[in-house]
Structure 1
């Protein structure tokens, strides 16, 4: 019997971000032809996960590998998506959903980051990297375990490529912000700062990061440039090959040793043992596209959506 793959996206408030995600979906569908490959969103866009799984179920799929299109293990990967999958699993007695792991720290992502930096360097005059600062920009989360992965990749990338200094900034939630990091690094007077956002796709947050860098550069005598998003590069596809294989083999393990829900982590003591509960109910599918809606399912989730008018 044919098995399914659910690509678990986050959702975007911009058309360009949604289209970029769908381009990745198209490439993975062409790559995994032996599977029924579908996709869904955690918030904003349609289809929501439940609708996508119902669509596959109606096609006779009874085993699904859920792969998060998530870079780092913040609350979306540790809490929200597993909560959604467990909830949907309870609706079907003859369906098995197996969770894959977020992309995380891996050699393919590191190589792709290097590729994006090299692409940006090629647009400018040659400069000794010892005179250049590398600034890795992460999404930022309240989960310090996820933030630490950004730091790890930044360290491996910066030291591996021989930059004079490497630092990290975040688009929100975590510290320092992009602007604050630029202010700090400018005091070290590196001739050039290359910012590389660790983002899959374009969207509101990425455009905000770019604007902050441009605005800062206008008032600085130093050079500040930035790379493009990771996109649907072949290296990303290879990383998903690994995550799919792990899901199939049952080896898609999270970093439970440093999980704030399982261990007492400094500064996050109140999170230990917290009940798994999704927090995106109010924005599920609010930007849905009519041609992507599927048949109604008589579930608690459907009734709540009707009540909310979404």
Structure 2
């Protein structure tokens, strides 16, 4: 049997998040019908990672690749997921486990976010547009810096008045501060792109802030990234890269 692909998302109390993950994996399955592709969640949603790995083992698989649906290597990637995988490896000695890299950073993610933004009618030639790139926010500074670097690249490669990263929680600037900065740079209209895979409570918080602080300008609000074909392509790329490694791993590179 080919190694199963276990896509692991964080999980959310908002049911839209899990639905979006399952829709993403439907695209992955359509691209690779030869693979056994399953969803798992670290917290707040079912099924949990350990339960999925037990089921994969019971179904006869002797190898599985865990693909973290995480955008950066923060706490969940460095601590939570390796602990769960290590526990499953000890409990299921007949199942060889490999863990792929997290999804970000990668040009395919940037393409996905830009594709979603373009669907709102935003163009890269609009010199009066200011773009907020909204990320979750983390106590792990490098994860926030990753989002900021994406916004900086957009600033350099477009004619926009500006592109600024903002965070829904745990980091600065927040959305109102980012909008103020874009106004100072000459933006007359505001758009928000999401460095999120799926909608949820935090994306709602971002939208509320944008609509409050840029309400008079009819802000353009993009969708999160997961329904982009580029994300499905990236999931399969991470799976293939993990299989190309010679050694087993129970951590996220």
TM-score (ref. length: structure 2): 0.90
- Distance in 2 (CA, whole Å) between partners of 1:255 and 1:85 is 10
Deviations 1:58-81 (A, max 9, x none): 101111100001112211112211
- Distance in 1 (CA, whole Å) between partners of 2:211 and 2:225 is 20
Contact 1:189/1:222 (<8 A) preserved: no
Contact 1:75/1:143 (<8 A) preserved: yes
Give the aligned partner of residue 50 of structure 2.
50
Shift of 1:111: 1.8
Contact 1:36/1:56 (<8 A) preserved: no
Give the aligned partner of residue 260 of structure 1.
none
Q: Which moved more, 1:90-99 or 1:30-39?
A: 30-39
Contact 1:194/1:225 (<8 A) preserved: yes
Give the aligned partner of residue 240 of structure 1.
235
Do residues 207 (structure 1) and 201 (structure 2) align? no
Distance change (3 Å), C-alpha of 1:176 and 1:127: closer
Stretches of structure 2 lacking an aligned partner (at least 5 in a row): none
- Distance in 1 (CA, whole Å) between partners of 2:212 and 2:246 is 45
2:145 corresponds to which of 134, 145, 148: 148
Give the aligned partner of residue 166 of structure 1.
163
Give the aligned partner of residue 175 of structure 2.
178
Distance change (3 Å), C-alpha of 1:127 and 1:10: closer
Do residues 98 (structure 1) and 95 (structure 2) align? no
Shift of 1:198: 0.8
- DSSP-derived class of the 1:129 partner: coil
- Distance in 2 (CA, whole Å) between partners of 1:196 and 1:16 is 18
Deviations 1:73-119 (A, max 9, x none): 21111221112111211112221110001111222112222222222
Matched pairs, number: 251
- DSSP-derived class of the 1:173 partner: coil
Deviations 1:11-55 (A, max 9, x none): 111122221111112222333322222121111111111110111
Give the aligned partner of residue 295 of structure 1.
none
- DSSP-derived class of the 1:231 partner: coil
TM-score (ref. length: structure 1): 0.75
- Distance in 2 (CA, whole Å) between partners of 1:127 and 1:202 is 24
- Distance in 2 (CA, whole Å) between partners of 1:156 and 1:127 is 12
Shift of 1:128: 5.3
Shift of 1:157: 2.4
Runs of 4+ with deviation above 6 angstroms: 251-256
Distance change (3 Å), C-alpha of 1:173 and 1:27: same
Distance change (3 Å), C-alpha of 1:118 and 1:94: same
Contact 2:67/2:100 (<8 A) preserved: yes
Give the aligned partner of residue 136 of structure 1.
133
Larger radius of gyration: 1
Distance change (3 Å), C-alpha of 1:51 and 1:255: closer
